[in-house]
Amino acid sequence: MDEHFYSVRMRAAQHGSEGQREKHISGGELLSAYKDLEKAAQMLLEKGLNHSRGRPDFMQIQLDFVEEPVTYTAPLHTATNEVSSVEEGHTAARKLLLRTGVSERAVDQAYQMVTENSVTRGAVLIDAGTGGRLDQRGDRGVRVSRMDWPAENYGRWAEFHGFPENPRMKEALTLAAKVCRHPAVTAELCWSDDPGYVTGYVAGSRLGYQRITKLKERGDEQGCRVFFVDGRADIKSCIHYLEKDPIIIRWRETE
């Protein structure tokens, strides 16, 4: 397909009064053809303006022409793990992470880091073996960008698998598929910073996208996004892939 794409990114925040620490409200990433840019920007504007984390007093919508060729990839195999408490949810998450090959030490470190760095905006990269932090991005973390899953293809996927169409799940599945296809990434652990959304997931290329129905209590605004990465790999090139390589999810019924 000889189509050029634009990366459209949105970031909304609340600064409040002088000296207050910035509060992340919402972020969004899309890949759009030139003719659909108006619709894409409108979608992101609406997302940022109507978020349960609050009303933004700052928003940025940025457009960048994507020069790199787009790679098409299949979505991850998806399953839902029903749990009845946060504790049960984290026990399930830990087990799934260990199954991907992440060490017990790294899992413990990740949980500790998440509690300490409750304000990290993007993802934190952690060594899947030692548990040490691999990115040097501080509070900002790494923001995965340049990925999308066209609505029509996602809709067919959701219907085929009996999932209700859920924009949050679509975004998370898209991000996880991009992240986990990188050979240095062992697994991802994520739950939302939206106080009303308690489902999270553990993902890995072979494990698939394993949703866990309760990873925090309702009302909690603390989210988490951790990538467990092989510490011997070239981390700079892994981060470059996460931020810059354009990936589009494409599902075929036979997959």
Q: Which of residues 168-227 bind Mg ion (CB under 5 A)?
A: 193
161 lies in the binding site for ligand PML (CB under 6 A)? no
Work out how close the CB of 96 gets to ligand PML at its nearest, in angstroms, rounded to a whole number: 14
Show Cβ contacts of residue 115 under 8 Å, excluding neighbours closer than 6 positions: none
Structure tokens at 89: 């949810």
199 lies in the binding site for ligand PML (CB under 6 A)? yes
The Cα–Cα gap between 210 and 201 comes to 5
241 lies in the binding site for ligand PML (CB under 6 A)? no
Query: Which residue lies nearer to Mg ion by CB, 29 or 193?
Result: 193
| Interface pick for ligand PML out of 10, 124, 169, 239 (rule CB under 6 A) | 169
The Cα–Cα gap between 193 and 215 comes to 11
Query: Which residue lies nearer to ligand PML by CB, 11 or 70?
Result: 11
What is the contact mask toward ligand PML in residues 53 to 82, using x (rule: CB under 6 A)? ------------------------------
179 binds, among Mg ion, ligand PML, none (CB under 5 to 8 A by kind): none
Closest CA to 223 of 247, 199, 249, 241: 199
Closest CA to 186 of 222, 147, 144, 232: 232
200 binds, among Mg ion, ligand PML, none (CB under 5 to 8 A by kind): ligand PML
Q: Between the CA atoms of 95, 99, 101 and 107, what dihedral angle is there, to the nearest 10 degrees? A: -10
172 lies in the binding site for ligand PML (CB under 6 A)? yes
11 binds, among ligand PML, Mg ion, none (CB under 5 to 8 A by kind): none
192 lies in the binding site for ligand PML (CB under 6 A)? yes
The Cα–Cα gap between 85 and 91 comes to 10
List interacting residues with ligand PML (CB under 6 A). Answer: 168-169, 172, 190, 192, 194, 197, 199-201, 211
Interface with Mg ion by CB under 5 A: which residues?
Answer: 193
